[in-house]
Amino acid sequence: MDKKTYNIMIAFVSSLPKIPETVEYCGADVGTAFCGIQTNEAGIYQLQHSLREAGGLDRIILVTSKDVTKLHSAEPWKRIFEKYGRSSMSAISFLKEQVKAKHPELAERFEESAFDEDAGMEGAMRYIAALGDVIQREQEAAEAAGLHDIVLHADMTGGFRHTSMMMLAIMQLSKYMGIRIGHVLYAGKDRNAPKGSIVFADDIHRMFDMIAGMDEFQKYGSVQALDEYFGDTRAYSEPFRSLLGAMRSFSDAIRICRTSIIEKELESLGEHIRVFRNQSGGPIQEELFRRIIRVLEREYGTVLGSGTREERRLNIIEWCLRKKFLQQAMTLCTEWIPQIIVDKRICYTEDIFAIRDCKKAAKKGLRSWQQEFIISYDPERKRKEKEKVPYGDALDMFRYILKYNRKDLLVELPDDLQRILHSFLQDHSRNLSIYTNKDILLEPISTNNAALRRAIDQLKKNAKQQNQTKGLLYPTIPNRVGQLSEKRVTEIFGLSAADIAHPTKTPAPQLTDEEQRAQKWAKREAIYRRMFSDSDRIMRSDLPLDAALDYLRSYFDIREERNQSNHAVVTADQESSKLEEDITAYIEKLHAYQRAVTP
């Protein structure tokens, strides 16, 4: 047999009764029975039988109190102890001898763990942690032997005060360590009944998993624990399967932040909850699930409920913030708030041509026209901004000097690059009087400068590829070369990787994230103010200008934080808690704002 599972049993050892009695217990499987004198025997025999195809029990951890280690020598027990050559025995010794007599293969698989029942609650908690270490050592030994499916079985039969609570804590701790919980059993006998019975309480214990799964979904929007609990759902009703599927789809949408379908998935989830809640019958697990589904409805009420699309979207963002889904909240803010700002007339436009421009640009960027309008629209953006002097990067500076005829910046280049570019510009200038009106595509140009010759050849080659036959004047050569790609420029001037690796003499300005953001906002704010004040009034608001800009600034800050997190910035401008507070306050402010009613 190829053994794959390592089975551990844990039991709190019971004391010996005053009078020994062999009790027959009906097994958990139909037609099986197990006999024992000591209360824990039946549970061990049952598990050894149930796990026979998996190789039986690998380790039996017996938790002992002071009482079960005391020697017993009362007359009724002596005759039984004599069978093992003893006149007195403790409860733990007797249990082990009884089990070994029936199952010799278990003789070396016991481990005793002493617990002081008088140690109080703190002592009990310390013991649980220590027992967790014992179980973890078993886990590590099993994994070292190639057995990675570690299963813990619990006998709830014996023990002392608060044993059940301790056992539950041990099982939860083991589960957290990656150990699977197997059978949970109890062996008992009514006082006047002729036989006892062994009951597997697995399903009752697994209710913890279902409740934990609902708690996980309620808190984190995850269905992993519920999927593990229900497993193959073919035995359940169609409404229940559909509900679980809707929960899973919503979980996926939130987890990977699929903003385009979150609303649809929430609507679907609400509908499936209503259908499932209004049906009856089905397996007991469904009935239990139906009892606690109302908690889910209360938790998701604001996002499942009716109301305007605008309010529902704000509710969803608030829900994400409550659940600490900060990244999702920022993404939803980025995508949804522009439309809310426009719909509330905090910032809007009546210019149909501005809307047309935004719709065209939005289609390319896969976003709404309102996003385009709030984030980046500028009616004058076609007017090209002057390029900034690229301090810091030598190759960028090299091209900038060519493009804009900035010979005054030659001193910024490393010495070798200065000489190369100075020679090129000097030779080009020397022939300007001769070739001022000459078209290099129509007339030959003579030069002894190798870089200038390669530049002319490259420009002619480019013109040929574009079917251009004239219109490339000699004076424009430096400017046109400066517009070529970095690769072409390095080829023309014979520059190596080492040449272009050096910085300029003046370093690039080192701005903090806060300074960069301030610069960026100042630039965008200037555009907003221009659009608000132009005669065309492309941008409008029902609010005073500064109040409208305050809404726009808050949105800008949220979007910047979201972009920073997307680009793995090591130190964000704000701590998460402060950011959550700011976004929450902004959403509440949007909730409270009532659009002015136009008569």
Superfamily classification of domain 5-200: SSO1389-like (3.40.50.10640)
Compute the distance between CA of residue 540 and CA of residue 311 in angstroms, rounded to an integer: 22
Higher local confidence (pLDDT), 48 or 509: 48
Compute the distance between CA of residue 566 and CA of residue 568 in angstroms, rounded to an integer: 6
Q: Which residues contact 384 (CB under 8 A, 6 or more apart)?
A: none
CB 131 within 8 A of CB 113: yes
- For strands 5-12 and 33-36, give the pairing: unpaired
Share of the chain above pLDDT 70, in %: 96
How many CB atoms are closer than 10 A to CB 180?
Answer: 13
How many CB atoms are closer than 10 A to CB 125?
Answer: 13
Q: What is the mean pLDDT of residues 304-311?
A: 78
pLDDT tens digits, residue range 20-62? 999 999 998 888 999 999 999 999 999 999 999 999 999 999 9
Give the amino acid at 232: D
The three-class DSSP label of residue 468 is: coil
Compute the distance between CA of residue 65 and CA of residue 116 in angstroms, rounded to an integer: 6
The token duo for 409 is: 């910046």
H-assigned helices in 278-414: 284-299, 301-304, 309-322, 326-343, 352-365, 369-375, 394-404
432 by Cβ neighbours in 10 Å (0-12 / 13-18 / 19+) ranks as: exposed
Compute the distance between CA of residue 445 and CA of residue 456 in angstroms, rounded to an integer: 8
The token duo for 365 is: 């960027």
- Of 132-136, 379-383, 569-573, which range is least confident? 569-573
Question: Does residue 563 have a pLDDT over 50?
Answer: yes
For residue 598, what pLDDT is reported?
44
Compute the distance between CA of residue 483 and CA of residue 399 in angstroms, rounded to an integer: 7
Which ranges in the chain are annotated with CATH 3.40.50.10640?
A: 5-200
562 by Cβ neighbours in 10 Å (0-12 / 13-18 / 19+) ranks as: buried
Q: What is the mean pLDDT of residues 318-327?
A: 90
Q: What is the mean pLDDT of residues 97-117?
A: 94
In 3D, which of 387, 356, 383 has the Cα closest to residue 369? 356
∠ CA 148-44-181, nearest 5°, is: 35
Compute the distance between CA of residue 457 and CA of residue 462 in angstroms, rounded to an integer: 9
Q: What is the mean pLDDT of residues 226-242?
A: 90
Give the model's confidence band at 599: pLDDT under 50 very low, under 70 low, under 90 confident, else very high.
Answer: very low
Residue 387 DSSP class: P
pLDDT tens digits, residue range 387-410? 789 999 999 999 999 999 999 999
Note if the pTM is more than 0.75. Answer: no
pLDDT tens digits, residue range 169-227? 999 899 989 999 999 999 988 877 888 999 999 888 888 888 888 888 888 888 988 99
CB 469 within 8 A of CB 441: yes
60 pairs with which residues across the strands?
9, 110
The three-class DSSP label of residue 186 is: strand
The token duo for 32 is: 């099986």
Q: Which residues contact 227 (CB under 8 A, 6 or more apart)?
A: 244, 248
Give the model's confidence band at 318: pLDDT under 50 very low, under 70 low, under 90 confident, else very high.
Answer: very high
469 by Cβ neighbours in 10 Å (0-12 / 13-18 / 19+) ranks as: exposed
DSSP 480-504: HHHTS-HHHHHHHHT--HHHHHSBP
For residue 571, what pLDDT is reported?
44
For residue 569, what pLDDT is reported?
46
Compute the distance between CA of residue 224 and CA of residue 221 in angstroms, rounded to an integer: 9
Compute the distance between CA of residue 114 and CA of residue 314 in angstroms, rounded to an integer: 57
H-assigned helices in 177-322: 202-220, 224-230, 238-255, 259-277, 284-299, 301-304, 309-322
94 by Cβ neighbours in 10 Å (0-12 / 13-18 / 19+) ranks as: buried
Compute the distance between CA of residue 152 and CA of residue 6 in angstroms, rounded to an integer: 9
